[in-house]
């Protein structure tokens, strides 16, 4: 049982007694202590997260912070690069000189992989002491060391975020992606980053049932942010919108951030954000960063695989499509949220 004093007063954890979760956990060796559920949010995290949950909740927020939030594999890196360049005058040359992990730090990194893994990963991409100041023992320390306006990445659901985000109206940009492509991309993520050895069928079943390792279940995560989309400090975007009309998304994001962009800056940023450019850009493709944290038995593949809409068509059987369609309908009916489920390939 976890120590109560490690958790916020309004947070508790539950053990997960489920055969699907047990089978999923046995098919990976990185998180040997398994996973637990944090309530009342319902989000699943590795057991180590208990050591950081309270620190994250009490993290000091600055009013001009920008939090980029998402369920994993929803276009987070793409959004990070877009936002950083909007804030910094589309200084692409500067962006290419410093790794994304340094420019837009990952708030809860230590809570997933422990402090020593965080430090080793950051040192792999740091080019000097200015990139990784002394005294940054955790990812929270590292985020706190950044100058304003800080752009911060997180995959946490809204209920596990620092409480001051909404007290101080710090800006929140949420990026969502259709669950079919998320499921496929998350499968490859687990294979290369965590060393998942199970089948696609087991992964699909685990994802559908909400027992698929960290940050699951999917729909409560997305719908929590959808429910607060009308707040002045929240911008809700989708991956498919970025694929279909990137200039519009750039314009909406710049307006949300209070930035005026010229036509030439917008055109420059559109070119920079193409999948071809992103995949070959060492500051964002995570090749070096992932290499330092990848388990020895994990499959080696690119962090950025395809960057398309509709790859689920290459993976799901007719029966799996039937199952996920029903699951989507059960969760989305009455919400008004359009996750572009009818998009095939873009």
* Residues with a known catalytic role: 155
Q: Is 103 helix (H, G, I), strand (E, B) or coil?
A: helix
Which residues is 13 bridged to in the sheet?
A: 38
The gap between the terminal CA atoms of the chain, to the nearest Å, is 47
In this structure, how many other beta carbons lie within 10 angstroms of the beta carbon of residue 35? Answer: 20
Total residue length of the chain: 346
In this structure, how many other beta carbons lie within 10 angstroms of the beta carbon of residue 136? Answer: 18
Give the separation between CA 93 and CA 115, rounded to whole angstroms: 31
Instruction: Return the ∠ at Cα 53 (arms to 12 and 303), rounded to 5°.
Output: 120
Nearest to 242 by CA among 233, 234, 251: 251
The token pair at 61 is 């927020």
Helix axes 246-257, 263-272, angle to 10 degrees: 120
Where does 216-304 show beta strands of DSSP type E? Answer: 234-238
Kindly list the distances between the CA atom of residue 336 and the CA atoms of 223, 270, 322, 331, in Å, as whole numbers in the listed order: 10, 29, 21, 11
The token pair at 45 is 């995290």
């Amino acid at each position: 049982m976890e120590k109560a004093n490690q958790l916020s007063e309004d947070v508790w954890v539950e053990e997960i007694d489920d055969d699907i979760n047990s089978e999923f956990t046995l098919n990976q060796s990185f998180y040997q202590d398994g996973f637990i559920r944090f309530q009342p949010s319902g989000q699943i995290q590795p057991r180590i997260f208990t050591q950081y949950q309270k620190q994250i909740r009490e993290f000091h927020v600055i009013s001009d912070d920008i939090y980029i939030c998402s369920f994993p594999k929803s276009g987070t890196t793409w959004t990070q690069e877009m936002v950083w360049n909007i804030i910094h005058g589309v200084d692409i040359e500067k962006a290419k000189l410093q790794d994304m992990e340094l420019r837009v730090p990952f708030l809860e990194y230590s809570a997933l992989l422990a402090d020593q893994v965080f430090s080793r990963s950051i040192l792999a991409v740091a080019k000097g002491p200015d990139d990784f100041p002394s005294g940054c023992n955790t990812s929270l320390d590292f985020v706190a060391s950044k100058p304003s306006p800080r752009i911060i990445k997180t995959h946490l659901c809204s209920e596990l975020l620092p409480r001051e985000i909404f007290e101080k109206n710090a800006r929140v940009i949420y990026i969502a992606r259709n669950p079919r492509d998320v499921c496929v991309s998350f499968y490859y993520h687990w294979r290369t980053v965590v060393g998942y050895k199970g089948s696609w069928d087991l992964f699909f079943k685990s994802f559908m049932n909400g027992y698929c390792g960290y940050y699951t279940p999917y729909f409560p995560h997305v719908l929590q942010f959808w429910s607060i989309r009308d707040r002045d400090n929240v911008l809700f975007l989708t991956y498919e919108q970025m694929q279909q009309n990137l200039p519009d998304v750039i314009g909406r994001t710049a307006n949300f951030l209070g930035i005026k962009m010229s036509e030439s800056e917008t055109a420059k940023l559109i070119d920079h954000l193409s999948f071809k450019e992103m995949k070959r850009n060492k500051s964002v493709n995570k090749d070096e960063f992932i290499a330092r944290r990848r388990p020895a038995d994990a499959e080696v593949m690119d962090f950025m695989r395809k960057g398309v809409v509709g790859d689920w068509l290459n993976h799901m059987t007719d029966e799996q499509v039937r199952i996920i369609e029903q699951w989507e309908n059960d969760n989305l009916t009455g919400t008004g949220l359009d996750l572009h489920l009818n998009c095939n390939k873009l």
